Chain A
Amino acid sequence: MSLLLDPPIRQEIEYRAADVPAAVVARALPWNARLWQHGAVRKSVILLALALLWEGAARWQGNDLLLPSFWQTAQAFVSGIASGELLERVQASLSVLLRGYVAGIAAAFVLTALAVSTRIGRDVLETLVAMFNPLPAIALLPLALLWFGLGNGSLVFVIVHAVLWPLALGTYAGFQGVPETLRMAGRNYGLRGLPLVVYILVPAALPSILSGLKIGWAFAWRTLIAAELVFGVSSGKGGLGWYIFQNRNELYTDKVFAGLATVILIGLLVENLAFRALERVTVRRWGMLR
């Protein structure tokens, strides 16, 4: 025992917990901090800043043919919508896009369901993804044109190729990440094969599947616009890519920008409305994604 090394022995004391004022326990944030919590507000500010930057750059550069200003593009966009031409193009593109997207999702689901139920299915999926995922969909377009002719069939084919592999990869990775305990719980209730995939694996892997769907959507858009730029017209009705290409040929640069802006706008809408809403009612609500 030494006084230097041993701590002193002190009196025991019992306290009664004092009341804490409510204002200290929970306090509301000021209104500007609360507003800044909304992602939509922050992103709108970013978009506004980009538009201002664009307007400034266009005015400083002063050549409408090379870089029309934000205002001119907005006018071309509004008149395109008003005349109905732009909407028609959007509709043509979206109908092809959705067909390819849905077909790609179905194919990816079949492939991954086979991959989790059988070993040979897994080998097939891994081999095919390794082979075709690095292959740009647009590189298949000449072949598709040869096989399916100048028409929507070729477009759907390349879109399926663009969607299928990244989605299959993401879904399969998600399936593999499902906790073993959860699988055992499902098997415990007599689930096996397809019901196990549908009732346990798909919801458990939903974060990965959703991110696969987002990547697939972006790839499908890019592929479609690029493919339309290459040939575009089928039965006299071209999509957005064709609209961009045509207007560039005629040097309507503001319309080219309006077409590009439409592609971007649709992308933003789908991301922020469709996918965000899907996430909010599923994985965020379930606490699988913060």
Chain B
Amino acid sequence: MNAPVQLLRPPAAGAIAPLLRADGVSLSYSDGARTVRATHDVSFDVYRGDRFVLLGPSGCGKSSLLKAAGGFIAPGAGTITINGARVTGPGPDRIAVFQEFDQLPPWKTVRQNVMFPLLAARRMARKPAEEAADYWIAKVGLDGFADAYPHTLSGGMKQRVAIARALAMQPDVLLMDEPFAALDALTRRKMQEELGRLWEEARFTLLFVTHSIEEALVVGNRILLLSPHPGRVRAELNSHQFGLHSAGSAEFQAAAARIHAMLFEEPAAAPAAGDAEPAWGRRVAAERT
């Protein structure tokens, strides 16, 4: 266990039960010779309508956590539940948007891409699926490109298709794994803005992975801060008060500086409980570099 220094857990908020719950999740991966712990004993609750951000330096296992929530990798210890049911594999109730542009099958047009999961999961017949696809394509501002093939689109447009495809499925949780990281800075800012607008309209539940402090503050309403390798919970913070409009404000800068300080503090200031593990973590990190 990591000693909770600033860990402010919400009291079990009365009648509202969390939608997605990670309880003591540890993830490991094997590189052939040994197993490496990616995240250690991570717990968090995501409520309906949350824009929950997993934030941490690279190698803290935040993407692995998201993939575990998606059911793509099984936790070594702990459980992930959605609506009280344990996650055992991938399913259409949790749709993922990845960073890589090749998540869109190149042999399908934009419309076919958005329809594909609706048909594959037997959610809808062809006709209503087509209508749903056109609705969401228009929502992400791609009307007029419905019959285009992905290779003719820009990176930002491809990510919009992926978002439309995910939202058309109306998943319980939308999983986003650094979806804007491969975009240029201007496009990224525009996409963050549009994601906020889409959330205002559709009020989906979002689990969002990023390594950018600013993006976490702008996109999320709550941030789970993970420590460097192996990822442990460092803090759980509120960021509902921030948006793109407040990105330059003094409070925003202060919040960013506070997170920055927590991410890059000296190892000596780290919680001393369970000495063996941080030391092991440091050793592995040193070997890996």
Interface residues of A (CB under 8 A from B): 179, 181-182, 184-191, 195, 199-200, 203-204, 206, 282, 285-288
Contacts and interface: CB of A to CB of B under 8 A. Distances in A.
A188 B97 CA distance: 10
Which 4 A-B pairs rank lowest in CB-CB distance, beginning with the nearest?
A: A287-B151, A189-B117, A189-B120, A179-B102
Contacts of B107: 203-204, 206, 282, 286, 288
From A181, A203, A285, A288, residue with most partner B Cβ within 10 Å = A181
From B67, B70, B104, B117, residue with most partner A Cβ within 10 Å = B117
Contacts, number: 69
B92 A188 contact: yes
B76 interface: no
Interface string B97-117: 010101111110000000011
B54 interface: no
Where chain A touches its partner, the secondary structure class is: helix
Given A181-B98, A184-B72, A286-B151, A189 B121 contact: yes
A181 B117 CA distance: 15
Nearest to B102: A179
Given A203-B105, A287-B106, A185 B96 contact: yes
Contact of B105 (A188, A195, A200): A200
A259 to B, nearest CB: 40
A188 B102 contact: no
Contacts of B95: 188-189
Nearest to B109: A286
B120 A187 contact: no
B149 interface: yes
Given A286-B149, A287-B149, A188 B106 contact: no
B152 A182 contact: no
A190 B72 CA distance: 11
B247 to A, nearest CB: 27
Contact of B103 (A181, A190, A285): A181
Contacts of A195: 120
Contact of B116 (A189, A285, A287, A288): A189
A190 B96 contact: no
Given A184-B72, A185-B98, 19 more contacts: A184-B70, A185-B103, A185-B105, A188-B70, A188-B90, A189-B116, A189-B117, A189-B169, A190-B90, A203-B105, A203-B107, A204-B106, A206-B107, A285-B149, A286-B149, A287-B149, A287-B150, A287-B152, A288-B151
Contacts of B121: 189-190
A190 B152 contact: no
A189 B106 contact: no
A209 B59 CA distance: 36
B84 interface: no
B149 A204 contact: no
B259 to A, nearest CB: 29
Contacts of B72: 184, 187
12 contacts: A181-B102, A181-B103, A182-B105, A184-B72, A185-B105, A187-B89, A188-B70, A188-B91, A188-B117, A189-B117, A200-B105, A286-B151
A204 B120 contact: no
B114 to A, nearest CB: 12
A189 B117 CA distance: 5
A153 B106 CA distance: 41
A36 B106 CA distance: 30
Contacts of A203: 105, 107
B106 A190 contact: no
Given A287-B151, A287-B152, A190 B100 contact: no
A189 to B, nearest CB: 4
Contacts of A186: 120
A184 B90 contact: yes
Contacts of B120: 186, 189-191, 195, 199
A195 B120 CA distance: 9
A282 B151 CA distance: 13
Contacts of A185: 96, 98, 103-105
A179 B104 CA distance: 10
A182 B150 CA distance: 13
Contacts of A191: 120
B248 to A, nearest CB: 24
A247 B245 CA distance: 86
A288 B67 CA distance: 27
A288 B106 contact: yes
